[in-house]
Amino acid sequence: MKTVLISIKPKYAEQILNGVKSHELRAGSVFSRGDRIIMYASNPVRAVVGEFTAGFVMTGSYEEVVAYLKTVGYKGLSSEDFEYIRGKRTRVSAIEVVDPIRYPEPISLATLKRVGLERPPRSYMVLNPSIKLHAKLIELFNKALTTRSQGL
């Protein structure tokens, strides 16, 4: 299981956190079932707002991913989502959203910078716990979950 920090438009992060969007579409093929997907909502929010667990991940050509989504249904996906991955790379992924969690307190870009993250990833960043900065980020995200469970 990997921890992956993704940049996402605020409206899509909200759709995921509200259970409206069933899949997140991404160029590339680094995602696997069980991965922890941390969502950094881009401008104007500029904060980590929550996370979800990757369910089934379909990786293939654009056409293969679209065919898969037609068979399972693609709740909350729009033509803009499909345009995002069309022609990006030879491999794209549809990541099933499982157990989305909204952080009670978003983690601001200023806080991320204080920890040492110069700027959020353009698309995604796989966090390696053996890298000091990545370990600090994972600790920050874990603390957000701890705060959530204590607040219940």
pLDDT band for 148, please (50, 70, 90 cuts). low
The reported pLDDT for the residue numbered 90 is 75
Q: Which helix (H) or strand (E) holds 49?
A: strand 47-60
Dump pLDDT digits (tens) for 44-74.
999 999 999 999 999 999 999 999 999 998 8
The rounded distance, in Å, linking the Cα atoms of 57 and 13 is 18
Q: What is the pTM for the complete model shown?
A: 0.91
Mean pLDDT throughout 86-107?
90
Which residue is it, tokens 């110069």? 118
Element (H, E) at 40: strand 36-41
Quick one: pLDDT at residue 85?
A: 82
Q: What are the CA-CA distances from residue 113 to residues 22, 52, 135, 141, 149 (Å)?
A: 31, 23, 14, 14, 25
Mean of pLDDT values over 14-32: 93
